[in-house]
Amino acid sequence: MRCPTAKGVQLVASAKRVKTSSSFHEVSMETTRLSREGLCPGFSRGRFHKRASDDPSGSVKETIEPQTTTVQKIIEGDVFKYYSDGEWKVSSSGKTVSIINPTTRKTQYKVQACRQEEVNKIVESAKQAQKSWAKTPLWKRAELLHKAAAILKEHKKTIAECLVKEIAKPAKDAVTEVVRSGDLVSYCAEEGVRVLGEGKFLVSDSFPGNERTKYCLTSKIPLGVVLAIPPFNYPVNLAVSKIAPALIAGNSLVLKPPTQGAVAALHMVHCFHLVGFPKGLISCVTGKGSEIGDFLTMHPGVNCISFTGGDTGIAISKKAGMIPLQMELGGKDACIILEDADLDLAASSIVKGGFSYSGQRCTAVKVVLVMESVADAIVKKINALVEKLTVGPPEDDCDITPVVTESSANFIEGLVMDAKLKGAKFCQIYKREGNLIWPLLLDNVRPDMRIAWEEPFGPVLPVIRINSVEEGIYHCNASNFGLQGCIFTKDINKAILISDAMETGTVQINSAPARGPDHFPFQGLKDSGIGSQGITNSINMMTKIKSTVINLPTPSYTMG
């Protein structure tokens, strides 16, 4: 059903923009007025924050400044600046990149199109800043991250508004993403203190043929400069999931946000700026992937790449060289439904897992593999729930909102038309207006249809009827993807056996695929990725082991 027309979401900005002859300026007087009226959290009158500044000794000093004086101008005219060396800058290229609103299909924002020379300066600054940051006490790094988390939550409405306009994320989900991101940063600060605060002590006589003449001390040290590339669908959450582990581990961070979602990411980076991290430690470079993409990922000054996205990651992995890679590259997450499954639970999980955020999630249910004996029943239940989904603009908090770009909508439509040509049963009439595609369930899908294998990243869900569990496992494992999968059954013994047989990074039992909670391991097999995410795994991945061996002149054994 069409989501009813509403006025949209009223978002209170942290400061009112007033256009002058040259640019937009943040007006602190308006901020003060909003603060007195309780409308501008984080900029209250008389409130101060601690700002860290560089110190030659490698430590971080704190100075006290009124927070209203730190409001930075991050936009020049109608173009957002990029962030480098603790400052907001305009690219010398004189070029911009337009961000198209998926709902209106008109230009919503513009960002700088940075040049390769500017990337060079950013990476060099990051290298220098990292050397000092690595000498900053662990507790101090954690303290600054906690402050960033708090400021991020204070600015949730401003950032959420960008998510609504840039990627058509429903308003409530947009706010949730920002709050979740703040929680992730705080958890990472705590976990980092624990994970990095301990090392190992080894003695040589535990290996055959050795006396106790050597003591080995191991610790985790930073990699250097981490390049973070998040995707459009979670440009804030999947940015901080890279930023926070990198910083707590003592690395510097260069962020290349997606075009759709870049302004939300810039506002997020502004929150880190307000904390006062050392200049050059965090940078955010915007621009066209065709001009600076390969230059960034192949840059000799980059020591680690954390990427979330599509098959672009495969190309990056082939070019990046001998540096650690953390990659999540999508999935074709299969849902296997056995005859003894709770069909009501399965249907509600499939609709939520397959259609939330219009199916634009790596962990969305991408194909339903259901035993023939219960196929009619589960299709009927899914259809009933699909009919209740609301369709419309993200400002109205609709379940189904426009997909991110016209090219994405065209790709989805291509999969749908291929299925129609080959005889799939349409449970709903296919309907599209611009980037908005109504939810569609396709029954009787066969393996010769593209939708059976390709990831639509949209509100279209195929159902394949199977005659055995082995058939379902075979289809799951025949995919080049291996991110997640799920099983619905009341028999836990069967569930474990099927889980073990599925070639996926995670298997959910009696629930739809999901990324999170954010401290859970998250990884893919085959073309779905390299390495593992999750807060602890990301911290460990962004460090390396350093050993120091003490050699004794004679064996020494500790006595009681």
Could you count the other beta carbons within 10 Å of the beta carbon of residue 143? 18
Say which residues have a Cβ less than 8 Å from residue 145's Cβ, sequence separation at least 6.
185, 186, 188, 189, 192, 244, 247, 248
| Token duo for residue 14 | 């942290």
Could you count the other beta carbons within 10 Å of the beta carbon of residue 542? 26
Distances (CA, A) of 197 to 142, 219, 422, 507: 12, 9, 59, 32
| Token duo for residue 84 | 């480098």
Of the candidates 479, 401, 420, 484, which has an alpha carbon nearest to the alpha carbon of residue 166? 401
Euclidean distance between CA atoms 261 and 108, whole angstroms: 11
Of the candidates 306, 287, 269, 288, which has an alpha carbon nearest to the alpha carbon of residue 83? 269
3-state DSSP of 32-60? HHHHHCCCCCCCCCCCEEEEEECCCCCCC
| Token duo for residue 512 | 């739809």
Euclidean distance between CA atoms 408 and 410, whole angstroms: 5
Euclidean distance between CA atoms 14 and 11, whole angstroms: 10
Residue 97 per-residue DSSP state: E
Residue 229 per-residue DSSP state: E
Count the alpha carbons within 13 Å of 75 in the hemisphere toward its beta carbon: 19
Say which residues have a Cβ less than 8 Å from residue 478's Cβ, sequence separation at least 6.
none
Strand order across the beta sheet in which 334-337 lies: 425-426, 440-443, 460-466, 367-371, 334-337, 484-488, 506-509
Residue 2 exposed, middle or buried by CB count within 10 Å (0-12, 13-18, 19+): exposed
- The catalytic residue positions are 328
Residue that is written with structure tokens 């999968």 in the block = 485
Euclidean distance between CA atoms 443 and 461, whole angstroms: 9
Q: Euclidean distance between the first and final Cα of the chain, in Å? A: 76
Could you count the other beta carbons within 10 Å of the beta carbon of residue 45? 13
- What is the secondary structure of 289-329 as a DSSP string? IIIIIHHHHT-TT--EEEEESSTHHHHHHHHS-SS-EEEE-
Euclidean distance between CA atoms 178 and 255, whole angstroms: 17
